Structure 1
């Protein structure tokens, strides 16, 4: 059972995949965890799939819906009064078209969830994070968002050249760096993390890592004191 001083975390896009794995790991560590789900019914089904006795609270949250975001913020305020860790995990991949063929529709749709969503959620949750103790923001990115790696012809995923997804993660990385600079004096730790090529719905379960392995990589950043302004991956750091 959690104590009144248990750390509080919010994980977006948490009704399945890496997000659900994160909820489970954080709750098992004794945290109060808000399971953010665009569809509340799916969120409750996900909660029911986890062991009883964990302090997991389903939070209806569509990261692209400002009204839903305000309601979610009010719910966390009323339920906990603070937030120690925000994990911006919600993400989509609409297509893998290269720059010469990518459509503006795909770019806008992908950025709406992968970039604008984390920005809006973070801005809305900042007062609650300021009221918390740990003050950690973790953005779930991808090595496919590293401009440095894409410039290396020996990059193991050099063949992946989808503009919408890759550039959205690059933008999320930029948000991470700039936010870490802005909030540094307040003691915030703002970092990005690459969970690795994980078998999830996003890639048709073609990934080589399990959800549990990926969640462990992300959870380590959420649970540890690792400084701010870095791009973490399993076993080390990545270049921006």
Structure 2
């Protein structure tokens, strides 16, 4: 009976991981969430029988170690698949290119600090906390959700100067994964950075006219990189594609960054 831990499972991609994995009753699925009451209320409507929720804040290393202790009780001290999904995407700086921070240096410092605390330090905290359980698992796979926005070729070919702090923090994730792969290979652990694609996480909420304009601009911008790109995929499409990639991973790929398509094509 395989065990999965999804760190950052409150909503969006993380919540969809719980939903998709719960369909197989042989899976033991655990999601860490910051607001346990809200998450449990939402879980009730899903009717899950094999999903467990534990409190856990990715930015708080003590919280991650406490979550690992709780998970150990549920999974008998082992974890087969550890998926670290939680991330911070700054809405305030998403449209800002590097020179847009001229005169806004204090904002840049704060925005970068939050981005790196969640997107870089958070995975370090989570991996270190759950590592003893992964070592005891049969599968020994760690997945850190990254982003194609951290790929320099995509940035250049599609002309994306914006989202500086988010992209930089995800680039840091990629080198983090490479470093872990070197250290953990002797334990038979496979770790990769996995881009989920461009995903619609609005959960059915109708975008505002301003958001629609922004989406169209993004689509036009990405046409040069991916001519067949038609728009964001659903959380279900993304998660099912990611799980297919994860299932086929070999230890020879450890340390790599790949997409939900299993290659270096991010869209």
Structure 2 partner of 1:43: 39
How far apart in 1 are the matches of 2:193 and 2:74? 27
Report deviation, 1:98: 2.1
Please give the secondary structure, in 2, of the residue aligned with 1:49.
helix
Please give the secondary structure, in 2, of the residue aligned with 1:77.
helix
Report deviation, 1:136: 0.3
Report deviation, 1:216: 1.3
The correspondence for 1:232, drawn from 258, 261, 265, is 258
Structure 2 partner of 1:133: 138
Structure 1 residues 160 and 198, CA gap change in structure 2 (3 angstroms): farther
Provide structure 1 residue ranges, at least 5 long, that are not aligned to the other structure: 1-5
Confirm or deny that 1:90 pairs with 2:86. Answer: yes
The correspondence for 2:114, drawn from 109, 116, 129, is 109
How far apart in 1 are the matches of 2:191 and 2:128? 13
Report deviation, 1:160: 4.6
How far apart in 2 are the matches of 1:214 and 1:37? 20
1:126-149 Cα offsets, whole Å, 9 max, x none, are 011101111100011110011333
Structure 2 partner of 1:217: 241
- Coordinate RMSD, CA, aligned: 2.2
The correspondence for 2:57, drawn from 62, 76, 84, is 62
Structure 2 length normalisation: TM-score? 0.79
Count of residue pairs the alignment pairs up: 229
Q: Which has the larger radius of gyration?
A: 2
Report deviation, 1:64: 0.9
1:147-180 Cα offsets, whole Å, 9 max, x none, are 3332x3x23xx23522110001101111111111
Please give the secondary structure, in 2, of the residue aligned with 1:237.
coil
Which has the larger helix fraction?
2
Structure 1 residues 50 and 226, CA gap change in structure 2 (3 angstroms): farther
Report deviation, 1:125: 0.6
Provide structure 2 residue ranges, at least 5 long, that are not aligned to the other structure: 102-106, 216-230
Alignment of 1:26-41 (within 5 A): 26-29=21-24, 30-41=26-37
Structure 1 residues 52 and 26, CA gap change in structure 2 (3 angstroms): closer
User: Does the CA-based 8 Å contact 1:36-1:58 persist in structure 2?
Assistant: yes
Structure 1 length normalisation: TM-score? 0.87
How far apart in 2 are the matches of 1:212 and 1:173? 24
Please give the secondary structure, in 2, of the residue aligned with 1:112.
helix
